[in-house]
Structure 1
Amino acid sequence: MKNIKFLVLLLTIASVLTCERDDLCPESTPTTQSLVIGFYNNAVQESEKNVTGLYVIGQDNDDVLTGYDIVNTNELVLPLRTDQDSTTYTLISDTVLDDDGNYESGNIDIITINYTREDVYVSRACGYKTIFNNVVVSVDEGTDGEWILFTEALNDNLTIEDETTTHYFFYH
């Protein structure tokens, strides 16, 4: 009987010691990041400026981007597609909806974000994350005139690896 208890204890210790740290992906582990855009005043470029009535919709998606359903904000956080080398969003300022909640009016600019993707192994539990390299944003002002007057990247050959800094500056 002593031998069985000892064997069970030995097997329990061995199984605990063989568990690896990366069997669970901690929330603190960095994963695929989003593009962070700051909105600034075109007249006083050092000054942040809220976009009023901002409404954001992704291409091929009829749903508004979570958190951007007619808001006033000076920052925009956009998730990027990991299955393609570009992502397109419709940004509408001064949005007005009709009584049924459908788009009625506003100023529409369409932005396209182009990049190259690099998949990086994080761990067995977390899998891979995508790093976006050579990020470039272009703006199509549509037929109603532009409200985004120009854009500026944080640096040349922009790489998105974190969300702790503003990656792009939009002046309006």
Structure 2
Amino acid sequence: MKHLKLYLLLVTTLSFLTCERDDLCPETTPTTPSFVIDFYNNNAQDSRKNVVDIYVIGQDNEEVLTGYNLENVNQLILPLRSDQDSTTFNITSNTVLDDDGNITSGNTDILTITYARKDVYVSRACGYKTTFENVVATIDGGTDGNWVIFTEAANDNLIIEDDTTTHYFFYH
């Protein structure tokens, strides 16, 4: 038994010594970026403005996005699908829910983000990440009308390579 413990200790030690730096993906390594939206006041376009009681659900996904369940926010950070060329969200402002979690009132806009996907090699340990090119965001207010009045891309031919900067400005 003593020899088995010594053998296991030796094997464990050698396995750590043989790891190369590229075998572990550091947490600081950028991965597939999210879509960043900043909200501004449509009447004073230099002023940030909170969306009151925002409620965000991705289409084809019944779960409310974490951090966007009746919160007051002036920025959204939304994950984009890397298996399709578009992602769609239902974004409701001034949301009121019943006891079962169903929306009883509020104004829902449908946000569709279209893009071309590009897989980029990061490293052996981290694999690939997806970047998004020619990104366009469109808003459909449905029957209750848009609460987002105007959208503006941060730049022409928008490419999303990281989620440290704003990609779109929404005015409401």
- When the two structures are superposed, what TM-score results if normalisation uses the length of structure 1? 0.89
Instruction: Give the match for residue 85 of structure 2.
Output: 85
1:69 positional shift:
0.4
Q: SS of the counterpart of 2:160?
A: coil
SS at match of 2:143: coil
For residues 133 and 113 of structure 2, the distance between their equivalents in structure 1, rounded to whole angstroms, comes to 11
1:148 paired with 2:163, answer: no
SS of 1:143's equivalent in the other structure is helix
Q: Which residue of structure 1 aligns with residue 20 of structure 2?
A: 20
CA distance in 1, matches of 2:47, 2:18: 55
Specify whether residues 15 and 73 from structure 1 end up closer, same or farther in structure 2 by C-alpha distance, changes over 3 A only.
closer
Segments of structure 1 that go 5 or more residues without pairing to the other structure are 1-12
SS of 2:27's partner is coil
Q: Could you report, residue by residue, the CA deviation over 1:85-111 in whole angstroms, capped at 9, with x for unpaired residues?
A: 000000000000012222111101001
Describe the superposition over 1:53-82 as per-residue Cα deviations: whole angstroms up to 9, x where unpaired: 100000111110111001100000000000
For 2:33, the equivalent position in structure 1 comes to: 33
Aligned residue identity for 1:163: D
Residue range with higher mean Cα deviation, 140-149 or 93-102: 93-102
> 2-side partners of 1:16 and 1:36: how far apart?
39
TM-aligned CA deviation for residue 143 of structure 1? 0.4
The normalised TM-score by structure 2 is: 0.89
Q: How does 1:37-116 map to 2 (within 5 A)?
A: 37-116=37-116
Amino-acid identity (%)? 71
Aligned letter for 2:105?
S
Cα RMSD, aligned residues only: 1.8
Taking a change above 3 Å as real, the CA distance of residues 145 and 14 of structure 1, as seen in their structure-2 partners, is: closer
Over 3 Å counting, the alpha-carbon distance change for 1:16 and 1:144 in structure 2 is closer
SS of the equivalent of 1:22 reads helix
Give the aligned length.
Answer: 162
